[in-house]
């Protein structure tokens, strides 16, 4: 196993199984064949053809689209075809700064392969050889990745919330980091992934932020979603990343990017360029 | 003008004008139509067809290939068809860690569109709002980009030299940075470009290194290739990058990447994601 295996895991997909999800002529996601078949039962909302899933003609405007889709999703949820309802919505748009075309329940994002956004907060102390990283172990009750190793804070970007407010929220809820300390986080990178998971296509852009924490500050979880925190030398995190899949898949990407940016993984590593290009290139689809 | 213009400048190319340069079945570069026509005059060395330029069959082994190509290049140089002879060789290989298949005069790299590598050394002092960057102005006698703004050190990666030795060499020659200080440089990122220039296709991977210089240290040029150095606040470098093309094209990329990694260009910038993906994705060809 190697660091590159962590990156390759997040690139695995067979796009032949997916067809574009279109709003008017704008592609905003990808729908797997089995989901497309389910959507055929709702022709007032979805137009399903062999080459695409489209919102039905006449569904114009953000609210009308969002209401119609929400009604379908609630039926699929009631039937057991859509699990893990979160009561949190994501914006559906072709890119981060584009105006949203639709609002969708978070649990349905992979089913429609929509582009989602997330913040990765890497908590660290010291630098150079003495640098240490704060690593979380996720609660055993989390629906995704229970017990997996994770970043100081790692959270989806909900619709209508600024990145800064989400940063403060996640830092507080996951690690008990007060706002003034969270505000010191520095946007530093972006990692991307697109892979086929159990619930569909995970197509995400992760904003990576570095947060240098004061010596002596110890994160404590507030919302019950983290089991415990560890403070590891960078080399220990690197070794665990390379030799196990103990980290949550996306946390692994943010952490590898951090290790690259801070010189803990350098050009002498044979996989250095494939790692960087795998982490940072947008998928071609 | 904007930072994204600097990145787009380095992506401009019309690949329909180029055909692959192959050694056996391995693609190692791209040759423009007008260069391919010149190479038809040397059928013992190059096999030129409508779809590719290949090394002639029977030219086996690194030394035999390199000698044959060198002989042709010296003739082209004597005819004036290849200018700027450097007497410095580059390795030709499909990727950085792959064994070289051929050794080629540096001045001919764009003509064959071979993948080249370079180090970008960003010299800085301080951090956060107080961070300042060392910026060079290139000598007016440089063949490429005379008088342009540049990084503390910026140099091609010659064949057979380690990245570390090249780092020491470039830091000393360009900025008078002694070896022990250069050794503190930290590999931090990689930026890529592929664009059509006057001499062919520039297809380069740049290893970006951050070098924090002590307060009070002032770079001084040793080899005559730098006119002067400036110490600029990060915001001043950002503004000049966005509002002019005063920086050497590739130096602009390394510097924008630095500003992104250090939070001086963040997700609130509308072009943030296109900038990152433009800088860091490998070209698709």
Chain A interface test: which of B2, B11, B187, B281 (most A C-beta within 10 Å): B187
In angstroms, the Cα distances linking B146 to A107, B11, B64, B227 are 56, 22, 36, 10
| Those residues with Cβ within 8 angstroms of residue B80's Cβ, 6 or more apart along the chain or in another chain | none
What is the percentage of chain B residues whose pLDDT exceeds 70? 99
The stretches in chain B having pLDDT less than 50 are none
Residue A101: how many other CB atoms lie within 10 Å: 18
Q: What is the ipTM of this complex?
A: 0.92
Nearest residue to B213 via CA among B132, B157, B100, B281: B132
**pLDDT by position in tens, chain A (length 285):** 899 999 999 999 999 999 999 999 999 999 999 999 999 999 999 999 999 999 998 899 999 999 999 999 999 999 999 998 999 999 999 999 899 999 999 999 999 999 999 999 999 999 888 999 999 999 999 888 999 999 999 999 998 899 999 999 999 999 999 999 999 999 999 999 999 988 899 999 999 999 999 999 999 999 999 999 999 999 999 999 999 999 999 999 999 999 999 999 999 998 999 999 999 887 766
Nearest chain A residue (CA) to B187: A263
Query: With contact defined as beta carbons under 8 Å apart, do B145 and B240 qualify?
Result: no
CA separation for the pair A70, B116 (Å, rounded): 52
Tokens 């350098």 correspond to: A266
DSSP structure class, residue B259 = H
d(CA A265, nearest CA chain B) in Å: 8
Query: With contact defined as beta carbons under 8 Å apart, do A54 and A46 qualify?
Result: yes
d(CA B180, nearest CA chain A) in Å: 16
d(CA B272, nearest CA chain A) in Å: 9
How many interface pairs between A and B have CB atoms less than 8 angstroms apart?
A: 70
Residues in chain A: 285
Q: Is the CB of B260 less than 8 angstroms away from the CB of A189?
A: yes
d(CA A82, nearest CA chain B) in Å: 31
Per DSSP, helices labelled H in chain A are: 3-9, 33-39, 62-79, 109-112, 163-175, 179-182, 234-243, 249-261, 272-280
How many CA atoms, within 13 angstroms, populate the side-chain half-sphere of residue A241? 30
A104 SS3 class? strand
- Name chain A contacts of B97, Cβ cutoff 8 Å: 270, 273
- Name chain B contacts of A207, Cβ cutoff 8 Å: 267
d(CA B280, nearest CA chain A) in Å: 6
pLDDT value for B199: 85
Chain B interface test: which of A98, A166, A258, A280 (most B C-beta within 10 Å): A280
* Pairing, β A115-125 against β A200-212: parallel
Query: With contact defined as beta carbons under 8 Å apart, do A136 and A149 qualify?
Result: yes
Instruction: List A190's β-bridge partners, or say none.
Output: A207
Chain B interface test: which of A93, A261, A268, A271 (most B C-beta within 10 Å): A261
How many CA atoms, within 13 angstroms, populate the side-chain half-sphere of residue A175? 32
Q: Quick one: CA dihedral A190, B275, A278, A130, positive or negative?
A: negative
Q: Which helix (H) or strand (E) holds A203?
A: strand A200-212
CA separation for the pair B132, B121 (Å, rounded): 14
- Name chain B contacts of A182, Cβ cutoff 8 Å: none
Per DSSP, helices labelled H in chain B are: 3-9, 33-39, 62-79, 109-112, 163-175, 179-182, 234-243, 249-261, 272-280
pLDDT value for B190: 96
Q: Is the CB of A282 less than 8 angstroms away from the CB of B284?
A: no
Q: Is the CB of A260 less than 8 angstroms away from the CB of B186?
A: no
Query: With contact defined as beta carbons under 8 Å apart, do A92 and A23 qualify?
Result: yes
Per DSSP, helices labelled H in A134-233 are: 163-175, 179-182
A89 SS3 class? strand
pLDDT value for B131: 96
φ/ψ region of A147 (left if φ > 0, alpha if ψ in -120 to 50, else beta) reads: left
Q: Which helix (H) or strand (E) holds A196?
A: strand A186-197
Q: Is the CB of A262 less than 8 angstroms away from the CB of B205?
A: no
Query: With contact defined as beta carbons under 8 Å apart, do A168 and A182 qualify?
Result: yes
Q: Is the CB of B273 less than 8 angstroms away from the CB of A187?
A: no
- Name chain B contacts of A270, Cβ cutoff 8 Å: 97
CA separation for the pair A267, B12 (Å, rounded): 27
pLDDT value for B30: 97
Nearest residue to A138 via CA among A126, A130, A147, A128: A147
* Pairing, β B132-138 against β B115-125: antiparallel
Residues of B with CB under 8 A from a CB of A: 95-97, 163, 186-190, 205, 207, 260-263, 266-268, 270, 272-273, 276-277, 280-282, 284
d(CA B100, nearest CA chain A) in Å: 15
Q: Is the CB of A277 less than 8 angstroms away from the CB of B277?
A: no
């Amino acid at each position: 196993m190697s660091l590159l295996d962590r990156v390759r895991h997040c690139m695995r997909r067979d796009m032949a199984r997916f067809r574009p999800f279109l709003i008017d002529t704008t592609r905003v996601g990808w729908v797997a064949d089995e989901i497309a078949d389910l959507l055929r039962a709702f022709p007032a909302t979805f137009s399903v053809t062999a080459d695409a899933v489209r919102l039905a003609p006449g569904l114009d405007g953000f609210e009308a689209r969002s209401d119609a889709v929400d009604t379908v999703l609630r039926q699929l949820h009631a039937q057991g075809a859509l699990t893990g309802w979160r009561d949190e919505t994501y914006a559906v748009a072709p890119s981060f700064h584009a105006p949203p075309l639709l609002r969708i329940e978070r649990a349905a994002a992979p089913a429609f392969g929509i582009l989602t956004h997330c913040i990765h907060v890497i908590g660290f102390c010291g630098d150079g050889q003495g640098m240490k990283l704060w690593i979380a172990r996720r609660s055993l009750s989390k629906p995704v990745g229970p017990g997996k190793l994770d970043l100081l804070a790692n959270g989806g970007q909900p619709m209508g919330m600024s990145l800064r407010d989400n940063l403060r929220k996640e830092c507080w809820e996951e690690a008990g980091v007060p706002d003034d300390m969270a505000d010191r986080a520095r946007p530093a990178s972006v990692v991307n992934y697109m892979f086929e998971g159990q619930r569909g296509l995970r197509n995400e852009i992760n904003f990576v932020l570095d947060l240098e924490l004061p010596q002596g500050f110890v994160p404590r979880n507030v919302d019950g979603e983290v089991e415990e925190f560890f403070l590891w030398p960078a080399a220990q995190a690197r070794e665990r990343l390379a030799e196990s899949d103990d980290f949550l898949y996306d946390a692994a990407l943010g952490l590898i990017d951090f290790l690259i940016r801070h010189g803990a993984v350098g050009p002498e590593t044979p996989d250095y360029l494939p790692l960087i290009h795998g982490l940072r290139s947008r998928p071609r689809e």
